[in-house]
Chain A
Amino acid sequence: MSYKCVVLIKQVPDTRAITGDAMNDDGTVNRSKLASIPNPDDLHALEVALEIKEKFGATVTAISMGLPEATEVLREALYRGADNAILVTDRRCAGSDTLATSHILSCAIKKVGADIVLCGRHSIDGETAQVGPQIAEFIDAAQITCVGELKGVDGNSITARRVLDNGWQDVKAPLPCLLTVTDQANEPRVGAATRLMKYKNATTAANYDGDVNELKEKNLLIEQYDLDQLGVDLSRVGFEGSPTKINRTQKVILEAKEVKEISPTQEGISAMVKELIEDHSIN
């Protein structure tokens, strides 16, 4: 049996490298100042899919919703071993919150069909860890969140270890099932040189001047869908269709408190300790 795996990969600004000049005064982030990368957890999710492919037999489809630039993360998935890739891009996606995003992605998953859906535990820009469980609800699948280890796939079920606040849990779930994968699950492989050579020319039809069939024959076509093609309920997407809205954002400004400089000598430190006892910071 060959399982159908779908991996969801989001293109995100590298928030780990954020500095002051990447921030606008109104507290929004100037994404153009930050490098765009595949969301780190999603590469671990892809690696789990590739592991399933190698050990149990599967096809791996990577899906990303985003701007046309997100084609880049899909190419990255192809380098690493995905069999094909799909870009969901549409202006009407703009302003979508997690619920709307989940609705759109679930329509894409239904279109291609999946036994196992893998996504990252959370994204480093949205950071909600909500998209996975919400998609599971919309495609009516079982869910295993916080996967730290894939145990196996057998017949109509999948077994994995969840890593939790206070321990772990091994669970077996029926297919279809959605997994959210943590960075503890594996060490993602890097793209193989041969695949890199091959897929560097992979692209969407919109970005290709020549005959699309040629791309398709060479397996270099990254399919692109808009919301109409996916049968998305337009009342549930974009700013209007999103239940949550942003009221405001603020840059984190570190308050300058009054600082007392204490000399690193016994007198300096004894005086400080005395003060702290007097104001009951130390009892």
Chain B
Amino acid sequence: MIKYLSEYRDVELVRVVIDEIKRTITQPWVMMEICGGQTHAIMRYGLDQLLPPEIELVHGPGCPVCVTSLELVDKALAIASQANVIFTSYGDMLRVPGSDQDLFSVRASGGDVRVVYSPLDAINIAQQNPDKEVIFFAIGFETTAPANAMSILQASSMNLMNFSVLVSHVRVPPAMHAILSSPLNRVQGFLAAGHVCTVMGYWEYVPISEQYQIPIVVTGFEPVDILQGILLTIQQLEQGLYEVDNAYTRLVTYNGNKPAQKVIQQTFTTCDRKWRGIGEIPSSGWCIRSEYASFDAEKRFNVEGIHPNESPLCIAGEILQGIKKPNQCSAYRISCTPENPLGATMVSSEGACAAYYRYSLEEI
């Protein structure tokens, strides 16, 4: 029994919420779970199999490894390949294909690529290796931003000049705007990413809900949490309402974590950002503020001659926008597998293709 985990995996409670969803729904609805962690939980627990057929779940762009642009992956590979460098990253990033190779193959060729659990681990490595350049690959949405930002502030206060950060931060609200304003959009309700909202609160979603007249429900990651998020979304859709609601109250407040937001603002500034497979989304990223430019790996390592070359078969962009499902891809399970991925969505523990590959019950 793990407190705050077992209760939300309770079979009886799952049945209760499923029954209530069935009782409430009268017509088909399409909703998107923003976060790839939610996609994996849905597939892992087979929640999609338990839900009534009227509900179609499409999978969102909330997979930081998947949306990190190919240019930036190629830059990471170029920096990691240099001599006298220790390149640190969250583990998920190592198998993500760049144009020609991945971080694993850089390591196999003798590069010093290390997996860290926290950016503070990268700070420790920099302290212990003063004669090496230590780079941390700071990817992620709003959830990892407080940690990544703190590593920059720590390096600054410790005057740790051999430490720098390759930043690929992305934000959820601009991605929702991009999805909703697309002529191909089918999404009628959103399950917002609960852990992003732990940091940011959900005040940012109120104008989105009003502008596009769409329900947005802050949703957690356990089976009961996800089903409760779906239930609250369905209740709004069936009544013709569009509001921002919170199905994850034990961790999320309207205003979010103010100390964390303050550190993010102190360290990062909003910038345009390219999303892999999707393209540039205005104001969708965070970049290092000029005060901390000396810790910006893109400025410290002037990597030239990057010519990104994406697999022509991979449809990750359409999958990340909820336009297609992984099993609608001609390469899925055939030329694209977790061992030999064509795109990052087949790699990440938050990627939709990896979730389908690992948990889907479909015939092979």
Chains A and B bind each other = no
List residues of chain A with CB under 8 Å of any chain B CB. none
